[in-house]
Structure 1
Amino acid sequence: MNLKKLSQELGLSQTTVSRALNGYPEVNEATRQRVRLAAEKFNYRPNSRAKGLATGRAMMIGHVIPTSTQHEMVNPVFGDFVGGASDAYSQFGYDMMFARVGDLDEANVYRELKAKRSVDGVILQGPLVDDARIPLLNKLGLPYIVHGRSTGISEPYSWVDVNNKRSFQRATEFLIDLGHTRIALVNGLEHMDFARRRREGYVQALKQRGIPIDSALMRSAEMTEVFGHHQTRDMLQGDHPPTAILAASMITAIGVRRAIEEAGLKMGRDISVITHDDDLSYLKNGQDVPIFTATRSSVRKAGEILAGHLIELINEPGRTPIEKMLEAELVVGRSTGPATQGNAT
């Protein structure tokens, strides 16, 4: 099946079919859906090289991946994000390009991508609290969208983010309502914007309930299983151990759970745990009943949403920046329980 035959099957012009498949705004939604369904039915896949020659586009989306060993986007979660993004790219005939670079060379890579017209747009991931890449990309005029936000940047830019502050505020409030007052935060790297917002939510919940802030209960580093294990082990061996722990990722939470069990304690009875669950395809939080109480937000779905919005930005140059907030769902599992008289102090 080629474009001409698909157009004949639909009774539409080749131009209309092509524009529908590429997300052009002048094609109405009903026609767009009709064309997409027919393309799926007849297994039609547009030739990205031919489309590029016809439109003057590269038909390529860039993902720039830093080689730093301490960067929260370089972790297994990235695979699910790319899976979701690729679903959206394939609908519009786009391919992906991955550039692996050192942190200090990242700005030069964006300049080269723009100068060589290697990509039509990029998704910027792992934004810092004050991220210099955003003003750079605005200056270059390369279409982009940010997975997350950057607190320190005031100029307009497009983003899709999870409400990290509210998610961890709700999680902390949930533990306080269970009677816990010694609540620890095992967070990600706090120069990353998402981690900073999660700490702000945690701190705000404690302050609003009149619970003193204890810096000894706040730990921050790269979100690994070993980090979760070591920090939990150390806190449980202290004079005033936590009775509940907030973990920044499922991977970290596995380490938290290991340390709890090694201490002869039971998660959910002696120590309550809440984690953030990216709803990963390869690391599910239980089946019928979740193992961990969690703030859940699918990173695969986020990838699909960001990719779709980036293509909108490519097709509509100069449009108003896209800003989309996703809310995480608080899912109650087996890892939380009421604070007992013995562990509430």
Structure 2
Amino acid sequence: MNLKQLSESLGLSQTTVSRALNGYPEVREETRLRVQAAAEAAQYTPNVKARRLATGRAMAIGHVMPMVHRSEMVNPIFADFIAGAGEVYAREGYDLLLSIVPVDETEAAYRQMSANASVDGVIVQAPTMEDPRVPLLQELGLPFLVHGRTASPQGYSWLDVANIRAFQRATEFLLDLGHRKIALVNGQETLDFARRRRVGFEQAMAARDLAPNPAWMQSDVMTEEYGYRAASEMLDAPNPPTAFLAASIIPAIGIRRAAGERGLRIAKDVSIICHDDGLSYLGNEGNEMPGGPAFTATRSSIRAAGTRCAEILLSLIDTPNQPPVQELWDTDLTVGRSTGPAPV
């Protein structure tokens, strides 16, 4: 069945049916529901080319990946985010346009998308504290949503995790276990989320009149090798930490490897807390096991974030004059098998 046949069966114009299926606000709710029910019953699938002509939209969402030699974006976290967002795009008839460019060509990529009208909106990921992409997209008038936020998060739409509170809670948990020698293995602190996690760690320490040891604080791209290298250096020092706070489960696995090579028992000789993004193929499973998951972790699903970011962006495209949408997600603190009382 095509659009003409569906319209004739309903006794409505093709324009009305098209607008009803695409969520235009001027279509009455009763009509919209009737059209959707008929389309589902007939297993009608809109023709993408016709939909583009009817709506004047590109029916595509842009993701620009700035590539450098070592990129925070090229990891399982980015893949799971895209998987979540992609489900929404597919359901709503949008394509995903992924543009991989050198970091110094990022601005040009956005300008070309805008000039060519090749996308209806973009999602910005891994924002820095003062991210130049935000004012650029505001200048271009291109609908956008930031996954994360900048140091000044006013005037634009974003979805972020409560990173400060998450790492406050994680640090407090270790402090309550008696740990005082706590290391922070953070992500790149040019990125806003990592800066906030460091602030949460420092605030929790200061609340107990403790000062973090600079020798136990590192930041870098969140890889397993980075976690292993950072933990190895700290554990081989004369005064090693008894606990580690890792910005992701990925470096936490490296920390666990370094401890194991030195004969240290996890949760006995050294404790580890990480942030768990609920990665599909690198999960922190084991809720059914005695002691719970492998790692004690603050948790917020990156895939769910991708889904919600896509939903918000499409709403911004459909209703362009609405106020900025800003959502701050809290995290769960799940106790696993990687933490225990500080060794005596």
* Superposed pair shares fold, TM > 0.5: yes
- Partner residue of 2:172? 173
CA positional deviation for 1:154:
5.7
- Partner residue of 2:220? 221
User: What is the letter of the counterpart of residue 82 of structure 1?
Assistant: I
- What are the Cα deviations for residues 189-224 of structure 1, in whole angstroms up to 9, with x where unaligned? 000000000000000000001112211111101000
User: What is the letter of the counterpart of residue 163 of structure 2?
Assistant: N
User: What is the letter of the counterpart of residue 307 of structure 2?
Assistant: E
- Partner residue of 1:89? 89
CA positional deviation for 1:76:
1.8
CA positional deviation for 1:45:
3.3
CA contact 1:23–1:312 (8 Å) conserved in 2:
no
CA positional deviation for 1:339:
1.2
- What are the Cα deviations for residues 31-84 of structure 1, in whole angstroms up to 9, with x where unaligned? 878876876676543222221111111001000011113332221211111111
How many angstroms apart in 2 are the aligned matches of 1:87 and 1:100? 21
Alignment of structure 1 residues 171-320 onto 2, 5 Å:
171-287=170-286, 288=288, 289-320=292-323
Please state whether the residue corresponding to 1:174 is helix, strand or coil.
helix
User: What is the letter of the counterpart of residue 218 of structure 2?
Assistant: R
How many angstroms apart in 1 are the aligned matches of 2:181 and 2:236? 14
| Aligned partner of 1:336 among 331, 336, 339 | 339
Please state whether the residue corresponding to 1:238 is helix, strand or coil.
coil
CA positional deviation for 1:89:
1.0
**C-alpha RMSD of matched pairs (Å):** 2.3
User: What is the letter of the counterpart of residue 330 of structure 1?
Assistant: L
**Structure 1 pair 11/243, CA: closer, same or farther in 2 (3 Å)?**
farther
**Structure 1 alignment gaps of length 5 or more:** none
CA positional deviation for 1:155:
4.9
How many angstroms apart in 2 are the aligned matches of 1:30 and 1:333? 50
CA contact 2:242–2:343 (8 Å) conserved in 1:
no
CA positional deviation for 1:249:
0.9
User: What is the letter of the counterpart of residue 88 of structure 1?
Assistant: V
CA contact 1:47–1:93 (8 Å) conserved in 2:
no
- Partner residue of 1:322? 325
TM-score normalized with structure 2 length: 0.92
Percentage of identical aligned residues: 55
Please state whether the residue corresponding to 1:97 is helix, strand or coil.
strand
**Structure 1 pair 116/30, CA: closer, same or farther in 2 (3 Å)?**
same
Which 10-residue stretch deviates more, 26-35 or 226-235? Answer: 26-35
Please state whether the residue corresponding to 2:179 is helix, strand or coil.
coil
CA contact 1:21–1:92 (8 Å) conserved in 2:
no
User: What is the letter of the counterpart of residue 135 of structure 2?
Assistant: P
CA positional deviation for 1:318:
2.2
- Partner residue of 2:54? 54
Find out whether 1:124 has 2:114 as its counterpart: no
- Partner residue of 2:98? 98
- What are the Cα deviations for residues 132-151 of structure 1, in whole angstroms up to 9, with x where unaligned? 11001001100100000000
**Structure 2 alignment gaps of length 5 or more:** none
**Structure 1 pair 251/147, CA: closer, same or farther in 2 (3 Å)?**
same
How many angstroms apart in 1 are the aligned matches of 2:228 and 2:110? 37
CA contact 2:85–2:303 (8 Å) conserved in 1:
yes
TM-score normalized with structure 1 length: 0.91
**Structure 1 pair 75/12, CA: closer, same or farther in 2 (3 Å)?**
farther
How many angstroms apart in 2 are the aligned matches of 1:36 and 1:271? 57
CA contact 1:276–1:294 (8 Å) conserved in 2:
yes
CA positional deviation for 1:18:
3.8
**Structure 1 pair 244/12, CA: closer, same or farther in 2 (3 Å)?**
farther
Please state whether the residue corresponding to 2:98 is helix, strand or coil.
strand
**Structure 1 pair 320/104, CA: closer, same or farther in 2 (3 Å)?**
same
Count of aligned pairs: 340
CA positional deviation for 1:97:
0.5
**Structure 1 pair 42/223, CA: closer, same or farther in 2 (3 Å)?**
farther
